[in-house]
Amino acid sequence: MPQRRTAAGQFALEDQRRRLVAAAAEAILVHGLSAVTLAHIAAQAEISTGSVNFYFSSKEELLLETLKSVAEEFYQSIWLAVERAGGSANGRLRALVEGATDPAVVRPASAAVWYGFMSEAKARKDYQKVCAHLDDKFHFLIVQLCREVSETADPPVATDLETIAQALAGLIDVAWQDTLYDNEEFDCQQVRLRCLSFLSIVFPWVFPRQDGTAELQRQFGRSQADVIFREAVPADIEALAVLVNLYRASEGAAPDEAATAAWLDAHMKSPHEQMLIAEDSGGRLRAFAHIVASACPRELYRYRLIRALYVDGDMRRGGIGRALIDHARDWSRQQGEARLEIEVSADNSVLRELLLSLGAREEKGKARLLL
């Protein structure tokens, strides 16, 4: 019995300390860090001023504990989001943005504590003591994830990872400022879209544009190109044979445009096979996905399988492959199929990263996209 009372008493003590920390954050939001008093905090917590000293030895200890609570909540949101994302680097980078802009974390009172400590000379030393190593860890995590994402480009892209990390952290930092100044109109979703839009500029091959359009538009070191996605028709065979031959050559097969055209002519007549293509504004075919219908007798369902996927060399890194897979997924859904699967060789790390970023899950050596 004494142990149970001791445990209950300890729980009550910690619970009251948490209530005081939350009350301190709200009081700082109203009065400012330098002007807040224990009376302000006690009133916010609805207890007597004298009772505060039972839980904290001084106002300074309570304020520092409040800063620690805000910092730990923010960074834990990020660490957990990234850890749960697993899989691809761009999936983890997206999770980092989502964790850093979680409405449960980005609150006016928390921002008031954060910037209150950062802005005052005396408090700044306490901020450095509590947050410096966490700030560094956050920066290093962004740099590491950006490095992993940049390594998925084909061909490789030279990027200033430090600058990208600082810019992304700056966008997140601005969000915390906005919640202080515009807390009634503040929208975490808009902040997320702003961050993801930035990532779509620096890493366009894995982060889609955030404009909601069905048609992909991109600007990546070349003139802007409008791309549409559709099913191939017999009139496309000659142009498509050139693209399929490029794919065959990349897989080690000898080029043969006549044989390829004949193969396309035969297989495009089958109701169980489709060639989905990406066509630029000039009418040139730039990518294709070969899709076949299949079925699983064990589970008794039908599904579609992407047997081959190819993007023309100078169109890579611009999101064409991602958009084509999205189109294939939507197309399969319209056909009433249970799922879409894709075969990926073990050494195709670029495509594997892309699929994982789209929510694919690996199963028996394959990356599978589930509808």
Q: Encode pLDDT of 332-368 as tens digits.
A: 877 777 677 776 666 666 566 666 665 666 665 555 5
Are 146 and 138 within 8 A, CB to CB? Answer: no
Q: How far apart are CA 206 and CA 200, in angstroms?
A: 8
Would you write out the chain's pLDDT as a tens digit for each of its 371 residues? Answer: 444 446 556 667 788 888 999 999 999 989 988 889 999 999 998 888 888 888 888 998 999 999 999 999 999 999 998 988 877 888 899 899 989 988 888 888 888 998 888 877 677 788 888 888 888 999 999 999 999 988 887 776 777 899 999 999 998 888 777 777 665 556 777 788 888 888 988 888 888 765 433 333 333 333 334 678 889 999 999 999 988 988 888 778 887 888 999 999 998 888 889 899 988 877 888 899 999 888 777 766 677 888 888 888 656 656 677 788 878 888 887 777 767 777 666 666 656 666 666 566 666 555 554 43
Query: Which amino acid is it at 252?
Result: G
CATH 3.40.630.30 fits 216-369, yes or no: yes
- The Cα diameter of the chain in Å comes to 91
At 312 the pLDDT is: 81
At 262 the pLDDT is: 92
Are 275 and 264 within 8 A, CB to CB? Answer: yes
Q: Do 2-202 and 216-369 agree at the fold level?
A: no
Q: How far apart are CA 316 and CA 119, in angstroms?
A: 45
Residue spans per domain, the chain = 2-202, 216-369
Q: How far apart are CA 77 and CA 58, in angstroms?
A: 29
The predicted-structure confidence for 229-242, as pLDDT tens digits, reads as follows 889 999 999 999 98
At 300 the pLDDT is: 64
Beta-strand relationship, 285-296 and 366-369: unpaired
Are 70 and 110 within 8 A, CB to CB? Answer: yes
Is omega for the bond preceding 155 within 30 degrees of 0, making it cis?
yes
CB-neighbour burial class of residue 50 (10 A; exposed 0-12, middle 13-18, buried 19+): exposed
Phi, psi values for residue 285, rounded to 5°: -75, 130
At 219 the pLDDT is: 33
Owner of token pair 């921002």: 111
Q: Under CATH, which architecture does the 2-202 domain have?
A: Orthogonal Bundle (1.10)
119 membership: H or E segment, kind and range: helix 108-119
